[in-house]
Structure 1
Amino acid sequence: MTLYDELGGFDAILGVCRRWNELCLADPVAEHPFSHAYVHPQHDERLAAYLSEATGGPKLYTAGYGTETRVQRMHAGNGPHEELDGICLRLFDQALAESPIDADTAGRLGAYFRAATQNMTRYDASAESVPDGLPLRMA
């Protein structure tokens, strides 16, 4: 059984992503990157597709949205933002805690999300620093 299966599949992951987005929009610091016009209108679905694939589910992200390189470039070039990252990670943990996903399984997804967020700090300086051909980071 994959982590994707243990999480409850796409709909369960999408529920966490939607709740996380709501929590971020309600936070005075975390709302900033989520409230701009450039945020994709299907951000929650795209993140759920990414997390689904990263946890061993179907290749929803790479089949329809892009690559790890694209994900990294979308988030690159914004300089360090440790406070924002910390708040967003706390809110992701809260969204997981509010979901029906059991605590152990939720903790595994939370740990993956934390590591993926940390990995993105490698490219704080510019999107041009992100190399081509990065593999999707798996949980």
Structure 2
Amino acid sequence: MWHATSMSRPSVFEFAGGADAFRALAEAHHARCLADPVLDHPFSRGVHPEHVQRLADYWGEVFGGPARYRPGHSGMLAVHSGAEPGDGMGERFVACFVAAADDAGLPADPEFRAVLRAYMEDAVAEVFAHGLHRPPAADGLPTPRWDWTGRRA
């Protein structure tokens, strides 16, 4: 666990291990989703050839890394529009994300893991809020930013 010292606290992105750690997380999460009989369905329509890297870039940006995900937050919501919470999809997605953090060898620090879980629970709720029977998300939405205390305003 991180303890206050004379140095400032690293971002969640830095604490995780940077871009390489988020790439490993995205690879592990994608593999877990493909192996899940409910979560694999959205992938049956195919995915962008750079899906895993784009996912890593997006999550990295959310947690304090460089802004590399070009479609932005509105683009992410558009890609996932139509998602509905049936079959426990949201809970399964979060569970895969949490397990993928282990698979990727991310730090086991409880505070770090709690921030990851809280983010994904929030993200899943937001995606479902922009579900099938709702208007599309507005263009130009800022990518949410998360730090050790949660989602920043």
State the alpha-carbon separation in 1 of the partners of residues 120 and 139 from structure 2: 22
Letter paired with 1:11: D
Bigger CA radius of gyration: 2
Normalising by structure 2, report the TM-score.
0.80
Alignment length, in residue pairs?
135
Query: Counterparts of 1:39-50 in structure 2 under 5 Å?
Result: 39-50=47-58
**What TM-score do you get using the length of structure 1 for normalisation?**
0.87
Could you tell me which residue of structure 2 aligns to residue 5 of structure 1? 14
**What pairs with 1:1-139 in structure 2 (closer than 5 Å)?**
1-37=10-46, 39-61=47-69, 65-81=70-86, 83-103=88-108, 104=110, 105-126=112-133, 128-139=135-146
Percentage of identical aligned residues? 30
Change (3 A) 1:127 1:41: farther
Equivalent pair of 2:38/2:87 in contact (CA under 8 Å): no
What is the alpha-carbon root mean square deviation over aligned residues?
1.7
Looking at structure 1, the residues matched to 24 and 57 of structure 2 have their Cα atoms a distance apart, in angstroms, of: 12
Larger helix fraction of residues: 1
Structure 2 unpaired stretches of 5+: 1-9, 147-153
Contact 1:97–1:106 (8 Å) recurs in 2: no
Kept in 2: contact 1:2–1:56 (CA 8 A): yes
Long gaps (5+) in structure 1: none
